[in-house]
Amino acid sequence: MRVLVIGSGGREHALVWKIAQSKLVDKIFCAPGNAGIFQQAECLDIKADDIGRLLDFARKEKIDLTVVGPEAPLSNGIVDEFFHYGLRIFGPSQLAAQLEASKVFSKQLMAKYKVPTADFRVFTDAVEAKKYIEQVGAPCVVKADGLAAGKGVVVAKTADEAKAAVTSMMQEKIFGDAGNKIIVEECLSGEEASILVLTDSREVIALASAQDHKRVNDLDQGPNTGGMGAYSPAPVVTKELLKNILETIVYRTIDGLAKEGIDYRGVLYAGVMITKDGPKTLEFNVRFGDPETQAILPRLKSDLVEVMAAVAEQKLNRIRTLDWDSRACVCVVCAAGGYPGDYAKDKEISGLDVAGAMQDVVVFHAGTKLENKKIVTSGGRVLGVTGRGSTIKEAINTTYQAVDKINFEGMHYRLDIGKRAIS
Ligand code: AMP
Ligand code: GLY
């Protein structure tokens, strides 16, 4: 098979790395890829959101399976476009992708089909939203409706902070049209977990559980990021809890979409808060998580390509279960100086070969590129250093030993990835 992977982050490197292990695959392309992906795939000079050129390429090169990493092309309808030309593609349709692209759509669907989530109100008017915030008080959560590169959520400790978020989203339009509508919702507390499932809208297979670390600094301090590290499995997700999450959140959502005439095919990611009243949905993503994927896929023993092709063809019933390595996996993100704010670029990275040669270690690239035969930084999240161990503790030790070998100017990372799983 000829496979095309779309995207350029750590998630896409993990996908390419896993796809390269499939017996079914002869050739992998990646658009646009990065300096790590370059070692396993032919990288193309096509942007991840250039649907027209991606389609031309897939038709001309007779691609057998296209795998979409990021949400933007999904919410812009890449899957519908490929389907139209009879091309096999892994990911949800534009209508299904609204689950991530519109928080209002997602919350209203959850309300209609009784999927547990935080109580919420939708606003199209800033004054009304602020009045409501005065009424309910803090803490509360303000969310922009549309896609905002992971920055559209403000967990406000005070009413003033919440009202300031409304001002910047609705009046100053910091996220453009994504802030035309907003949600004000109840602040939930508890432990978070990411549950990812593969589904063709008829069958559902859960992937191994994982937990992300969203704040930039140790002990969950500082601003939110795309994710500073992850581990799998997440011990907080017991067998019983997983069953509960599947029944009350995942199945109800997929069935609810089906009742609305929307087939969901691809990976569905539920961000869940495990509250004292049971699991509640924080958000849905319509793609693999980043960096959760870097901690999950190294544990997968089954052939990912076979499963993704089955999802795309709505034949997931052919795959009964997935085989998992019982060992734990930890991924530590090495970020550029300044990230998640403005960050430095073009810093040469050293130690990649030494770290990558260590046993039970894989170094996934995210924001890297090749320049004059050297690997330099090109993004905020630069690398996802991933290690395996028979316990989480062992995986943590291995991973940080590998991180110690790597360096670039301004590099920073959290020192407590996975610690939560031990305590
Ligand atoms: P999201 O961009 O929707 O993933 O939200 C980012 C983060 O905000 C989540 O991972 C949670 O930590 C937090 N969050 C979102 N919604 C809520 C909520 N209702 N209560 C508490 N925290 C929340
Ligand atoms: N790790 C969070 C996300 O992928 O959205």
Confidence class of residue 84 from pLDDT cuts 50, 70 and 90? very high
Tokens at 132, concatenated:
């409501």
Nearest alpha carbon, ligand 1 atom 5: 153
Q: What is the CA radius of gyration of the chain?
A: 21
DSSP single-letter state for residue 299 = G
Distance CA 115, CA 256 (A): 9
Beta bridge partners of 65: 3
Amino acid, single-letter form, for residue 158: T
Summarize pLDDT for 145-196 with one digit per residue, the tens: 999 877 889 999 999 999 999 999 999 999 999 999 999 999 999 999 999 9
**pTM attached to this predicted model:** 0.96
Residue 14 alpha carbon to ligand 2 centre in Å? 14
Beta bridge partners of 205: 198
Tell me the mean pLDDT in the region 347-353.
98
Summarize pLDDT for 227-261 with one digit per residue, the tens: 999 999 999 999 999 999 999 999 999 999 999 99
Nearest alpha carbon, ligand 2 atom 5: 289
Residue 357 alpha carbon to ligand 1 centre in Å? 37
CB of 285 shorter than 6 A to ligand 2: yes
Among 147, 209, 267, 290, say which to mutate for ligand 2: greatest number of ligand atoms within 8 Å of CB. 290
Residue 278 alpha carbon to ligand 1 centre in Å? 16
Confidence class of residue 224 from pLDDT cuts 50, 70 and 90? confident
Nearest alpha carbon, ligand 1 atom 11: 282
Residue 207 has pLDDT above 90, yes or no: yes
Q: What percent of the chain has pLDDT over 90?
A: 96
What pLDDT, on a 0 to 100 scale, did the predictor assign at position 320? 82
In a 3-state reduction of DSSP, which class is residue 363?
strand
Residue 227 alpha carbon to ligand 1 centre in Å? 13
In a 3-state reduction of DSSP, which class is residue 27?
strand
Nearest alpha carbon, ligand 1 atom 15: 282
Residues 6 or more apart whose Cβ sits within 8 Å of residue 149:
none
CB of 138 shorter than 6 A to ligand 1: no
CB of 188 shorter than 6 A to ligand 1: yes
CB of 292 shorter than 6 A to ligand 2: yes
Ligand closest to Cα of 142 equals: 1
Ligand closest to Cα of 296 equals: 2
Closest listed residue to residue 413, CA positions, set 388, 381, 387: 381
What pLDDT, on a 0 to 100 scale, did the predictor assign at position 370? 95
Among the atoms of ligand 2, which is closest to the Cα of residue 285? 5
Amino acid, single-letter form, for residue 266: G
Any idea of the CA torsion for 15, 19, 20, 24, to the nearest 10 degrees?
-170
Tell me the mean pLDDT in the region 212-225.
92
Residue 343 alpha carbon to ligand 1 centre in Å? 24
